[in-house]
Amino acid sequence: MKTLLFLFFLASANAFASRADNTVVLDETAVKNLRIETAVVEETAFEETIFAIGRIEVYPGRRAVLSSRIAGRVADVFIKPDHPIKKGDIALTVESRQPGNPPPRIELTAPISGLISESHVAPGQPVEPSDVLAEILDLDEVYAIAQVPEHLAGKLKPGQLARISVPAVPDEVFTAKIEHLGAVADRESGTIEAAFCVANPKLTLRPGMRAEFSIVVEQRENVFSIPRSALQGDVVSRYVYIKDFELANAFVKSPVITGRVNDQRVEILGGLFPADEVVTQGAYSLAFAGRGTLSLKEALDAAHGHEHAEDGSELKGTEKATDPASAAKTSNPFWMIVSGILFLALLAVSFRKQKSTRDA
Out of 75-89, 222-236, 314-328, the most confident range is: 75-89
pLDDT at residue 210 greater than cutoff 70: yes
Confidence band, pLDDT 50/70/90 cuts, at residue 74: very high
- Which residue, among 307, 329, 332, 310, has the nearest Cα to 320 in the 3D structure? 307
Contacts of 22 (CB under 8 A, 6+ apart): 252, 253, 254
Could you tell me whether strands 126-127 and 72-77 are parallel, antiparallel, or unpaired per DSSP bridges?
antiparallel
271 close to 256: Cβ distance less than 8 angstroms: yes
34 close to 264: Cβ distance less than 8 angstroms: no
Confidence band, pLDDT 50/70/90 cuts, at residue 236: confident
Specify the pTM. 0.67
**What b/e readout covers 128-143, taking b as 16+ CB neighbours within 10 angstroms?**
eeeeebbbbbbbebbb
Q: Could you tell me if residue 88 is left (phi over 0), alpha (psi between -120 and 50 degrees) or otherwise beta?
A: left
Q: Work out the number of other CB atoms within 10 angstroms of the CB of residue 10.
A: 14
Percent of the chain with pLDDT strictly greater than 70: 74
Confidence band, pLDDT 50/70/90 cuts, at residue 185: very high
- Which residue, among 241, 237, 230, has the nearest Cα to 267 in the 3D structure? 230
Write the burial class of residue 290 (CB in 10 Å: 0-12 exposed, 13-18 middle, 19+ buried): exposed
Which of 4-18, 171-185, 256-270 shows the lowest mean pLDDT across its residues?
Answer: 4-18
Comparing 299 with 193, the larger pLDDT belongs to 193
pLDDT at residue 253 greater than cutoff 70: yes
pLDDT at residue 310 greater than cutoff 80: no
Q: What is the pLDDT of residue 165?
A: 96
- What CATH class has 50-59+140-221? mainly beta
Alpha-helical runs (H) found in 171-248: none
Residues β-bridged to residue 298 = none
Q: What is the pLDDT of residue 345?
A: 60
Segment 168-184 mean pLDDT: 94
d(CA 119, CA 82): 9
pLDDT at residue 303 greater than cutoff 50: no
Segment 26-39 mean pLDDT: 86
d(CA 258, CA 267): 6
Write down the mean pLDDT value for the chain. 82
- Which residue, among 271, 221, 250, has the nearest Cα to 41 in the 3D structure? 271
Segment 223-238 mean pLDDT: 90
d(CA 266, CA 260): 6
Which of 220-229, 231-240, 298-307 shows the lowest mean pLDDT across its residues?
Answer: 298-307
Comparing 358 with 151, the larger pLDDT belongs to 151
Residue spans of the domains in the chain: they are 1-26+295-300+307-360, 50-59+140-221
d(CA 178, CA 181): 7
271 close to 257: Cβ distance less than 8 angstroms: yes
DSSP 79: -
Longest dimension (CA), the chain: 144
pLDDT single digits (tens) 35-58: 889 999 989 899 999 999 999 999
Q: Where are the beta strands (DSSP E) in 236-337?
A: 238-243, 250-255, 257-261, 265-270, 277-281
d(CA 147, CA 54): 5
Which of 120-124, 299-303, 353-357 shows the lowest mean pLDDT across its residues?
Answer: 299-303
